Amino acid sequence: MSGVLVWVSCWPKENINSLVSFAGRSSSGERNQRRFSGVSFASGVSAFSSAVAADTSRSSEERVYDVVLKQAALVKENKRGTNIGLDLDKDVGADFTNGDLLNVAYDRCGEVCAEYAKTFYLGTQLMTAERRKAIWAIYVWCRRTDELVDGPNSSHITPGALDRWEQRLTDVFEGRPYDMYDAALSHTVSKYPVDIQPFKDMIQGMRMDLKKSRYENFDELYLYCYYVAGTVGLMSVPVMGIAPDSKASTECIYNAALALGIANQLTNILRDVGEDARRGRVYLPQDELAKAGLSDDDIFRGKVTDKWRKFMKGQIKRARMFFDEAEKGVAELNSASRWPVWASLLLYRQILDSIEANDYNNFTKRAYVGKVKKLLSLPAAYGLSLLGP
């Protein structure tokens, strides 16, 4: 269950026609690329994502926090973070020979968001035009990446395909997009201090989904949640921007973004226990299951018992702790970016309430937030977004 989540939203897992194609790309000389003239900039490529998992002497949280510190440092060191509004007043076509094509690329990204993430798309309408387009571009890349292991063609995806997707990502950051969606992302990362590391880490999460279906403890699960969901918060903060009057450290804001991604993914896991079990997957910490007197067999059996209820109460409590941590950073964001983030937080938190309302039966009942509650959450989120740092 890759369950990729943009910090400002979540999207459904239903299959759609894949946006990803590896055809005609068996080698660098044979790549069937659409070149967008004028795209050229330094990538500042980070070390490969395996570096995050390399040092097993420290906990996953400690290793991931190193990435958080690096992303925060990039924003502080990059002067674009303080005067980005000046650069974004001009049309995107000013930087490209074929500006009309680039504008179409951003529009296509917006169409994908509007179709598959309606609440998210609505929330982005409060952002400035350029921030909105950039968030769309990041969303589409994340969705395409998620589809590699969770989409209609997932049964055909191999580690080699993910390696090619990572090489394609590097090309995008170096200004060599393959298609219009790539071009939108290339332009986005050229304008904002967005680092490649979280993108590579997300691909690493997809690799884990290909080969790993059990997690021995929460430390292992935390790293997986960072890869597939926490990364998106790190991608998004440079685009969303930090409030000019924020007194919080950049590191704290990035850590809150990470926490929301972790919270959302933990919620996904708790919501989808039955669905994942039918695919032979268990995303709950094995040691905690054993401590509760439970095993994989109990999950596959799908019967709600007192032991299961007690176990789920502890899992839900932990997810809520991450939501609490995430709240600390939302008010520090740029005012135009707060509403969609608050909407995501409030809506996803209510999924945990729904699991409780279903008497912890996440085997055969899918917890969801009804339309009425969703509609009521939007004005509540908007009210919270008016509260600054």
Please give the backbone phi and psi of residue 74, each rounded to the nearest 5 degrees, phi first.
Answer: -60, -40
Best CA proximity match to 205, nearest among 182, 230, 185: 230
Residues in contact with 129: Cβ distance below 8 Å, sequence separation at least 6, in sequence order: 88
- What is the per-residue DSSP string for 283-343? -SBHHHHHHTT--HHHHHHT---HHHHHHHHHHHHHHHHHHHHHHHHHTTB-GGGHHHHHH
Asked if residue 75 has pLDDT above 60, the reply is yes
User: Which domains are seen in the chain, by residue range?
Assistant: 48-386 (1.10.600.10)
- Mind listing the pLDDT tens digit for each residue in 112-141? 999 988 777 877 887 889 999 999 999 999
Mean pLDDT of 98-105: 81
Note the pLDDT of residue 78. 60
Q: Give me the helix-helix angle, 180-191 and 99-116, nearest 10°.
A: 100
Count Cα atoms within 13 angstroms, Cβ side, for 18. 17
CB atoms within 10 A of CB 307: 13
Asked if residue 163 has pLDDT above 80, the reply is yes
Average pLDDT taken over every residue of the chain = 81
As a whole number of Å, the end-to-end CA separation of the chain is: 35
Q: Any idea which of 38-47, 76-85, 181-190 has the lowest mean pLDDT?
A: 38-47
Percent of the chain with pLDDT over 70: 79
Note the pLDDT of residue 11. 35
Cα dihedral 218, 222, 224, 225 sign: positive
Segments in the chain forming alpha helices (H) = 50-54, 60-77, 80-88, 99-116, 118-124, 129-150, 159-173, 180-191, 197-211, 218-225, 231-240, 250-271, 273-277, 286-291, 296-301, 306-330, 338-357, 371-385
Question: How far is CA 370 from each of CA 87, 239, 347, rounded to the nearest angstrom?
Answer: 41, 30, 10
Identify whether the C-beta of residue 49 lies closer than 8 Å to the C-beta of residue 186: no
State if pTM tops 0.85.
no
